[in-house]
Chains A and B, each alone.
Chain A
Amino acid sequence: MRDVIVIGAGGGGPVVAKELAARGLDVLLLEAGARNADPDSEWTDLENDANGFTKGYLRMGPSDRSKPPWFRELPQNSYLWQVSGVGGTTLHYFGNSPRAYPGTFSGYAGPDAGAYDTAHRFPFTYEELVPYFEWVEATLPVQTAPMGTKEQVWYQGWERMGVAVQRGKDVTHDGYRPQQNAILQPGGTAGRTTDRALLQHPQATGCTFCGYCLQGCKNPPGAPRNLKAKRSTDTSYVPMAITADAWAPGGRAVTLVSDAFATRIRFSRDLLGRATARGVTWRDTRTGETVTEDATVVVMANGCVEGPRLWLNSGLPNPNGWVGRGLTDHAFDWLVGLFPFDTDSSRGAQSQARADFPARGGMENVGLPPASEGISLALSDSGIRGAYDNGAGPTGAWDGQAGRPLGAELKEVQGDIDRQLNVLILTDDDVEASNRVDLSALPPDEHGRVARVRMGKRNRSARTRANRDFLATRAAESLRAAGATKVIRIDMAPLMLHVQSSMRMGTSALDSVLDADARARWVRGLYVADNSALANACGGANPTLTTQALATRTAEKIFATHFGGDPWVGSEAPVVSTDPRITAALAD
């Protein structure tokens, strides 16, 4: 009998696990994918080896890469880009850690208050979450991103447009700024040389500008795991969780089990029919063995797709039908500008600068290696430029119709990757019931019925579509102001890389699964602590930091409600994940 079982070691689960382990609870952390114990020997930085659709080491599938990936039904042109394994989708994230926009929270009374998704606000105030933002920012840590050439070009564009700089962490007005990234700033030789011999840790510390965020961060070479530059949870919260006895007074190390695919949440009903979570059953993906453990509290953190799937496959109650509904994805779009001078787009952390437009969304500069750039150019809902437009192909501040540049134009666009500059559009998209995760009509796999993920694009709300078009226009204008001689809008088909709110918390019991404490409304002892718990799309801010702040708050709620403890955020000082005690414990 455990105190707590956390399902999923991605962006949110390890946060709850670490926080409760630091309080001395007996925590079991399950992860369906690989342990990723030694990136220095297991990862290569090569694109297909890392991000290959079916066999990459950063895929959604079992640790045995000779086995097929886990299938999910996508009944539309789209790409669902999630990663299994310890670290989850933070393994390939860019570390971008902006705070959610204040206008997405209850109690917001700014002049633009009516311009957000007002029907689906967070069920508490922004001010209440700020101490948790600060706690996570100190723990990871989150730091202001440095500047390379691609950032310099980005800033020049916005300067020439006369847009203001956003100076603080709280987004209060339209503006551009350096990213707040969960990436250690470069120190020593990092960012100053290409010589591998000179980039060994500790001669180099922090980001070395290698340009491989998407392939998993293992630099600087030779750095201990918790001193790698990017603060994915495999380098931050997981090391803290499994060494909690070494750095937290009274702490107890988390038990981490990888290759453990949760197939059922066990629950019982009392005489009144009320459900209580009792434990978790999982399947060892290497042996096929089925294992069950009980716990006082179960925390689901297995993601926006697998979470609803597990809930539905477990037969848990779903009286309002909102399990899996309300999925948001920031309605991504992509623009690429071609420049007559070097942008060094392929170098440096893959996004180090952004712009925010509260109540509209945000956007960020992105530099990618060539194959990943290729898929970004090809994932369009608007056909092939110059050939057909699929009934879409919008025109505007960009050149020609939106769509895929293929054939001779692809060769032109890709002819010099270091003279490109990409903009990723992060729309403040609405929670809509029809965008959802449910169970496929196809036969089950070894873990039960598989998930179907439906994400409309053309039938998104009028506000979502208007926001997306507004942001694409501003992005095209900024690229031209920066000196681009050609700007292409892709009009992306759904690229579900930021997925949120499929098990959302909400102010109303009619359209939410969780209450304001991230507790399941209809199951005692069951909580959710990943992006699916978010009430909405955070206004278009990258979701991980908000999820981690919320997960910290949820850990406090669990500790107080089920274990009689007191909250600690605000009364204690956080320990940073680079603390030497953690480094030493990992070495042991």
Chain B
Amino acid sequence: MTSSREDLASAEGLAGTQDPARTDSDEPGWIGEALREHAEHERHEVDAGHRRQLPLADREQQVLDRIDRARRRRPRVREERITMSHGAGGKATQTLIEAIFLDAFRNPLLEPLEDAAQLLIGGSRIALTTDSYVVKPLFFPGGNIGDLAVNGTVNDLSVSGATPLYLSAGFILEEGFGVADLARITETMRDAAAAAGVHIVTGDTKVVEKGKADGCYINTAGVGLISRDVSLGVAHAQPGDAIIVSGPIGDHGITIMLARGELDLEADIASDTAPLNGLVAGLLDAVHGVRALRDATRGGVATILNEIAKAADVGVLVTEDDIPVRPEVRGASELLGIDPMYVACEGRLVAVVPEAEADRAVAALRAHPLGEQAAVIGHVRAEQPGIVQLKTAFGGTRIVDLLVGDPLPRIC
């Protein structure tokens, strides 16, 4: 017993041998920068001596307030290079978009950061969007990269309230890629476009040396016409509104994960990739005053809930028991230690509607084959703005934050 006490003491002794002149601001790279920034804000905020005297709960609240302020500061990319996290759809992606892209391109049309930009051209309201697809593997149960490339862009237009009309298709192909595979992908795109009622009207082809790409990447852009008198946006969410998902979540992400074969797991499950324009049209026909629609892709439903909380500066409370998840997806998620709330879908949407319209909205969604398991999963509220909370099946509560790490790169 004494030995370990000595160990602790000797460790402290060692710590004492550090260069006494070393301070936090000498720390290398972003750590020193983050600490200096922290010290700067700290000086302006609470003085530490005062905080010590407060009761425990109040001190904790003070720290929470300080964190809230820190989170609302202008995002900055601290890394010197792009890492896989920047593409994961979570916090790092958001920081990159806001600190680099939005900063450079800032304009009122881009600023809402919705799934599609809304333009007024010659008296018509047009929605414009673009998306790139780098999914690995290219072929998976329920579809291939071609389905994703068409449906993903159709869905971004649909959830903006637009009728999708025309798509472009750009291909980046790796030297050595099979022509038969390319034909399979383009046939799938043709069929997916036909199913969604859109036309692929322009395109581009590039080939890069072997090893400089992974088979086939696709970019699609799309335009649609907003003919309905709707104004959709997550910033419109108001306390009391109901939050609905259109069906079981996480199918696509788990399918891709299993299709890679790295986990030696098998389950009878397929991607949910599907065009949502029919489902959205049914909803908007039945319900007036829909506040926001989003398709839940990278980052999953959790990311959308956080976007709602942030954009509208409201709280969100959802109930775990009410969120539809297939048993196969839940099982795989449990095994892998993943939360289905963060797993990508490719044919599901999240809708925010006034509470009085919730039943009508669920009924309208359920009337469509893609929305049979639609359900209200929670509500918008005034309390704790900016924070998404989950009532767990166990009966406790916790936060659902934006994802930081990358559970699975190249999901779409």
Chains A and B bind each other: no
B-to-A contact residues, CB < 8 Å: none
